[in-house]
Amino acid sequence: QVPFSLVGALHGVHLFGAAAGVELREAATPTAHLAWAGYGNSITLIVLSPSPGPALARILDSAFGAMVRPPPS
């Protein structure tokens, strides 16, 4: 369980860094790992996981693909 205030604070750091030209992709707390991915200039996705790993980036990419991929014809 990660408190909403902690997630909000970490996202604030992510946004502040982005405004300064720095990209925060991952962060860790004692109980969770967070990953961010920006798509275009308007969509930022965040994933929380109990364990670290490269799968977090794939989860974000898959979620974005599911949101914007056109339906099969």
Residues 25 and 14 sit within 8 Å (Cβ to Cβ): no
Q: Can you give the residue ranges of every domain in the chain?
A: 4-68
pTM of the model: 0.75
Give which of 21, 24, 20, 50 is closest to 35, Cα–Cα: 24
C-alpha angle with apex 35: 30 to 41, nearest 5 degrees? 150
Instruction: Give me the tens of pLDDT residue by residue for the chain, a chain 73 residues long.
Output: 788 888 888 888 888 988 898 888 888 888 888 898 888 878 889 888 887 777 888 999 999 988 887 667 6
Residues 40 and 16 sit within 8 Å (Cβ to Cβ): no
